[in-house]
């Protein structure tokens, strides 16, 4: 298995990316890494601390897509950028999965323009996975589509269900529609129509779920548009930090509370880890012809290591094949790609 | 000051409502309460434990709007219901503020049909107040309007700003637009147009805020449509419970952690109280001709007491007058009321 990694994307590239990959190959077997980017710079980093490893290869790319580049222009004009080269290697099956921390817009655009949508998929999605009381929950979409049609909600439900089944071995993932109330008939017109379409789908649709149900684990897949999903995801992040902040204030109050904090230190670390994007790291673009894992722009060495380890599990699944099979008979409007 | 209270609305009516009002008058001076509903039942509760108090009066109403009544039909047909009578007393200035835990849909409908919108307000809103790192933040709208036009976002910003100034003495409330990114130009078309309108308004508009900014207290007023706001609000609630759940599991792990829990007991109570809807209780419908406070359907005695205490502070403000003045020159489309 070859894991393609954009060595030049993100705030801490290439140093953190290269180091993270070195850590990942130390920690697990069964895959090689192809670092894509400036050969000299990558070799320099690997040479510095004698980090070279036969499982880490370099594929030179002379250009870099920057954070402030216009997505479509960058993908079309920077043909030898680490990101575009990565997409092409993935398309040519020279790698099993592609990881990048680069410009999000360009990554989405590249996935659509270079890999293309899976036949039958109207709009790909960019889901997020959050921890819940009972395990994990996928919020789909979490940012790619800020306005959606009912067909999109339905397809998000189907793709999310397939992902959770393939990735976490859930037998019959529960799919819920994020709404302002639990009763049928809630929400606006788009949501009501989406409800009907989800009900007709061949998935385990459990009806409406509310914001408060997400972390309860009421559903394994929570379907929403990318605007609502992004707000929900970031609100969860913010609420986690808020609670940790409140606890910190309590812990530092006096000698007694400091003792309590000392006793709870390790457990608090576990809770913080659960809420830490660097630990969870990496979200898949669902609905395109290839596995593309986006890690956030300020990913550090630890994030990259975790994302690579996640990628190798993901690359063993049949996510793309199963989605392709599921949607092979679906007719969708043709959009310019 | 007269506080009008719907004694018959909600899951625990009339018992919890009556008891909560009795507690409220014991705790603070400067207001009387008019309990609206079945005179015999209310007198029976007051008589049971000798709870009668000259500051608590009864206004008889023979009907009750139930949770499963159709809102518009109920408001139009149940003329002698505690809710409709309450609205009419408020309209006739026989009370300064009206509190109800009854059917939410009917309460919103009644506010619109009986009190009417403030001149110039296109759509009233149902905001929520959440605790933040630095104080309090209003999410507006949090559920009344699941689809909004740019003018609504703008007016929510203005009304929210007035509320926070009047209610919490904030000098120049920071108003943010809830969006999927902090940079200008993010979001869908409606959001982009709303951004421009908010920028033109005579308020302290600080631009886009993200879900993670809400509890950080980056803005005092967070503007969004009622769908997004409802999801954000409930997601915060859910995240709070999730964190408390994680902590509980930690506390019960072993003898040492139980000791830590004992030390932190009082502080944890304060944190739980901060997240407790029964403590916060009561949300105002903004943009109608009168102060209407909705408390949730399963409000208990404690909730009612807190809502009444909040109501007497609210009734001293000039919220309605200030909104009326602000919007007096605004031309909005006339909708059937």
A253, B267 contact by CB (below 8 A): yes
Q: Pick A206 or A241 by higher pLDDT.
A: A206
Confidence band of A330 (pLDDT split at 50, 70, 90): confident
B312, part of any domain = yes
CB contact under 8 A, A260 and B259: yes
Residue A264 burial (CB < 10 Å; 0-12/13-18/19+)? buried
All residues of chain B having their beta carbon less than 8 Å from the beta carbon of residue A145 are: none
For residues A288 and A109, the answer to whether their CB atoms sit within 8 Å is no
Q: How far is A71 from chain B (nearest CA, A)?
A: 14
Number of domains in chain A: 2
Q: Model confidence over A76-126: pLDDT tens digits?
A: 999 999 999 999 999 999 999 999 999 989 999 999 999 999 999 999 999
Please state, as a whole number, how many other Cβ atoms lie within 10 Å of the Cβ of residue B226: 25
Task: DSSP for A286-302, please give it.
Answer: BSBSS-EEE--TT--HH
- 3-state SS class at A93: coil
> Confidence class of residue B278 from pLDDT cuts 50, 70 and 90?
low
Q: Where are the alpha helices (DSSP H) in chain B?
A: 15-27, 39-48, 71-77, 82-91, 104-110, 150-168, 189-200, 226-251, 255-274, 277-280, 301-314, 319-327
The string of pLDDT tens digits covering residues A218-268 is: 999 999 999 999 999 999 999 999 999 999 999 999 999 999 999 999 999
Q: How far is CA A247 from the centre of its chain?
A: 29
- Which residues of B fall within a CB distance of 8 Å from A211? 230-238
A129 phi and psi angles, rounded to 5 deg: -110, 130
In a domain, residue B337? The reply is no
CA distance B142 to chain A (A): 9
Closest-CA distance, A79 to chain B, in angstroms, reads 27
Q: Is the bond preceding B141 in cis, omega lying within 30 degrees of 0? A: yes
Q: Which residues of A touch B257 (CB under 8 A)?
A: 263-264, 267
Give me the percent of chain A exceeding a pLDDT of 90: 85
pLDDT for B333: 61
Q: Quick one: three-class SS letters along A112-180?
A: HHHHCECCCCCCCECCEEEECCCCEEEEECCCCCCCCCHHHHHHHHHHHHHHHHHHHCCCCCEEEEECC
Mean local confidence (pLDDT), B5-29: 96
So what's the pLDDT on residue A48?
85
Taking an 8 Å cut-off on Cβ atoms, the answer to whether B146 and A253 are in contact is no
Residue B32, Cβ density class (10 Å: 0-12 exposed, 13-18 middle, ≥19 buried): middle
Does A277 touch chain B if contact means CB atoms closer than 8 Å? no
Contacts of A267 in chain B (CB under 8 A): 250, 253, 257
A103 and A50 co-located in one domain: yes
Nearest to A239 among B226, B240, B260 (CB): B240
**Which of the pair, A21 or A297, is modelled with greater confidence?**
A21
User: Do both B163 and B230 map to the same domain?
Assistant: yes
Among chain A residues, CA nearest to B105: A186
pLDDT for the residue numbered A221: 98
B327 belongs to a structural domain: no
| pLDDT (mean) for A149-176 | 97
Task: State the greatest distance between any 2 C-alpha atoms of chain A, in Å, as a whole number.
Answer: 67
Q: Tokens 């998929």 map to which residue?
A: A121
Please name the member of A211, A253, A256 whose beta carbon is closest to the beta carbon of B232.
A211
* Structure tokens given for B262: 């004992």
Q: Is B301 found in the same domain as B159? A: no
Is 90 exceeded by the pLDDT of residue B213? Answer: yes
SS3 A325: helix
Residue partners of A92: CB distance under 8 A and separation at least 6: none
**Average model confidence (pLDDT) for chain A?**
93
Verify that A85 and A7 share a domain, yes or no: yes
> Is residue A54 over pLDDT 60?
yes
Q: Select the residue of A147, A213, A263 nearest B259 (Cβ to Cβ).
A: A263
Instruction: Give the one of A245, A253, A259 whose C-beta lies nearest to B133's C-beta.
Output: A245
Mutate to test the interface with A, among B195, B210, B235 (most CBs of A within 10 A): B235
User: How many residue pairs bridge chain A and chain B with CB atoms within 8 Å of each other?
Assistant: 160
Q: Which of A58, A216, A148, A28 is nearest to B235 (CA)?
A: A216
Contact B241, A236 (CB under 8 A): no
B129: helix, coil or strand?
strand
A13 and A92 fall within a common domain: yes
Give the pLDDT of residue A337: 39
- Please report the pLDDT score of residue B277 as a whole number: 65
pLDDT in tens, B134-192: 899 999 999 889 999 999 999 999 999 999 999 999 999 999 999 998 888 889 999 99
| DSSP output for B18-48 | HHHHHHHHHH--S-EEEEEE-HHHHHHHHHH
**Band of the pLDDT at B337, cuts 50, 70, 90?**
very low
Q: Hey, of A211, A254, A262, A273, which one would you mutate to test binding to chain B, going by the most B CBs within 10 A of its CB?
A: A211
Assign B70 a pLDDT band (cuts: 50, 70, 90).
Answer: very high
Express each pLDDT in B237-259 by its tens digit: 999 999 999 999 999 999 999 99
The pair of structure tokens assigned to B172 is 């120049």
Task: Give contacts of A180 with chain B, Cβ < 8 Å.
Answer: 143, 146, 226-227, 230-231
B123, B145 in Cβ contact below 8 A?
A: yes
Please tell me the total number of residues recorded for chain B in this structure: 337
Q: Note whether A260 contacts B: Cβ–Cβ < 8 A.
A: yes
Are B268 and B147 members of one domain?
Answer: yes
A215 touches chain B (CB under 8 A): yes
The yes-or-no verdict on residue A21 having pLDDT over 90 is yes
A183 vs chain B: nearest CA distance in angstroms? 12
B230 reaches A (C-beta below 8 A): yes
In a domain, B329, yes or no: no
The answer as to whether B64 is a domain residue is yes
pLDDT of residue A280: 67
Q: Are residues B279 and B131 located together in one domain of the fold?
A: yes
Residue A335 confidence (pLDDT) above 80 = no
More confident residue, B79 or A278: B79
- What are the beta bridge partners of residue A139? A128, A222
The pLDDT assigned to A296 comes to 87
Q: Do B211 and A143 touch (CB under 8 A)?
A: no
pLDDT for B275 equals 77
pLDDT at residue B329, as a whole number: 80
Q: Which CATH number belongs to the domain containing residue B293 in this structure?
A: 3.40.718.10
Alpha-carbon dihedral sign for residues B198, B177, A283, A223: negative
What residues contact B321, with CB distance under 8 A and at least 6 apart?
none
Contact at 8 Å (CB) between A297 and A65?
no
CB atoms within 10 A of CB B252: 10
- Nearest 5 degrees, angle CA A313-CA A319-CA A324? 160
Task: Determine the Cα–Cα distance for residues A172 and A193; give it in Å rounded to an integer.
Answer: 23
Query: Where in the sequence is the domain holding B69, given as residue range(s)?
Result: 1-119+285-318
Q: Averaged over B268-280, what is the pLDDT?
A: 78
Between CA A84 and CA A78 the distance in angstroms is: 7
* pLDDT for position B134: 85
Closest listed residue to residue B27, CA positions, set B318, B312, B332? B312
The first and second tokens of residue A12, run together, are 């801490």
Residue B325 lies in a domain: no
Q: Do residue B180 and residue A226 have CB atoms under 8 angstroms apart?
A: yes
Per-residue burial over A170-205, b if 16 or more Cβ lie within 10 Å, else e, is: beebbbbbbbbeeeeebbbebbebbbebbeebebbb
Instruction: Indicate whether B294 and B189 sit together in one domain.
Output: no
- Rounded Cα distance between A290 and A167, Å, is 15
CB-based contact A139:A177 (threshold 8 Å): no
Q: Which residue has the tokens 């030179």?
A: A60
Q: What is the per-residue pLDDT across B26-65, written as a single tens digit (0 to 9) for each?
A: 999 999 999 999 999 999 999 987 888 899 999 999 999 9
Q: What is the pLDDT of residue A114?
A: 97
Residues B219 and B266 in one domain: yes
Q: Is B242 on the interface with A (CB under 8 A)?
A: yes
- Residue A158: left (phi > 0), alpha (psi -120 to 50), or beta? alpha
Q: Is A271–B231 a contact, with Cβ atoms under 8 angstroms apart?
A: no
Q: How many CB atoms lie within 10 A of CB A265?
A: 11
Angle at A291 between CA A287 and CA A292, to 5 degrees: 95
- B101 and B134 fall within a common domain: no
Answer yes or no: are the C-beta atoms of A280 and A129 closer than 8 Å.
Answer: yes
Report how far residue A316's alpha carbon sits from residue A169's, in angstroms, rounded to the nearest whole number: 13
Q: What is the largest CA-CA distance in chain B?
A: 67
pLDDT of residue A279: 66
Is residue A109 within 8 A of residue A132, CB to CB? The reply is no
CA distance A123 to chain B (A): 16
- Tell me: do B49 and B198 sit in the same domain: no
Is pLDDT at B20 greater than 80 in this prediction?
A: yes
**Would residue B272 count as lying in a domain?**
yes
In a domain, B324, yes or no: no
Cross-chain Cβ contact B224/A247 below 8 Å: no
Please give the structure tokens belonging to residue A178.
Answer: 């994020």
Query: Which pLDDT belongs to residue B215?
Result: 95
pLDDT over 70, % of chain A? 97
Specify whether B169 is located in the same domain as B248: yes
Is B147 buried (19+), middle (13-18) or exposed (0-12) by CB count in 10 A? middle
pLDDT digits (tens, 9 = 90+) for A109-123: 999 999 999 999 999
pLDDT band at B222 (very low <50, low <70, confident <90, very high): very high
Give B-chain residues touching A243 at CB under 8 angstroms. Answer: 239-240, 243, 271
B226 to chain A, any CB pair closer than 8 A? The answer is yes
CA distance B75 to chain A (A): 20
3-state secondary structure of A321: helix
Token pair in block for residue A201? 């789908």
CB atoms within 10 A of CB B55: 16
From chain A, the residues in CB contact with B247 under 8 A are 247, 271
């Amino acid at each position: 298995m070859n894991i393609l990694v954009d060595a030049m994307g993100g705030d801490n590239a290439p140093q953190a990316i290269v180091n993270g990959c070195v850590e990942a190959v130390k920690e697990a077997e069964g895959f090689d890494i192809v670092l894509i980017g400036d050969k000299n710079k990558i070799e320099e980093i690997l040479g510095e601390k004698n980090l070279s490893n036969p499982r880490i290869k370099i594929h030179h790319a002379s250009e870099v897509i920057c954070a402030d580049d216009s997505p479509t222009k960058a993908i079309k004009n920077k043909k030898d950028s680490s990101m575009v080269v990565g997409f092409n290697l993935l398309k040519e099956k020279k790698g099993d999965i592609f990881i990048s921390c680069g410009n999000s817009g360009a990554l989405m655009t590249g996935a659509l323009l270079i890999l293309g949508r899976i036949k039958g998929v109207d709009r790909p999605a960019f889901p997020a996975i959050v921890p819940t009381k009972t395990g994990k929950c996928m919020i789909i979409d979490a940012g790619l589509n800020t306005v959606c049609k009912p067909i999109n909600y339905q397809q998000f439900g189907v793709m999310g269900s397939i992902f959770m089944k393939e990735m976490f071995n859930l037998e019959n993932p529960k799919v819920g529609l994020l709404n302002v109330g639990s009763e049928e008939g809630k929400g606006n017109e788009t949501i009501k129509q989406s409800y009907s379409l989800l009900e007709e789908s061949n998935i385990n649709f459990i009806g409406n779920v509310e914001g408060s149900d997400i972390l309860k684990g009421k559903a394994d897949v929570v379907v929403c548009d990318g605007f609502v999903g992004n707000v929900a995801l970031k609100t969860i992040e913010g609420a986690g930090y808020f609670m940790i902040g409140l606890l910190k204030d309590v812990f530092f109050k006096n000698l007694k509370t400091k003792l309590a904090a000392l006793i709870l230190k390790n457990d608090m670390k576990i809770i913080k880890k659960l809420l830490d994007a660097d630990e969870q790291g990496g979200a898949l673009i669902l609905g395109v012809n290839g596995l593309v894992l986006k890690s956030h722009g300020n990913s550090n060495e630890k994030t990259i290591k975790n994302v690579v380890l996640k990628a190798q599990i993901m690359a063993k699944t049949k996510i793309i094949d199963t989605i392709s099979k599921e949607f092979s008979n679906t007719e969708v409007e043709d959009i310019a790609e």
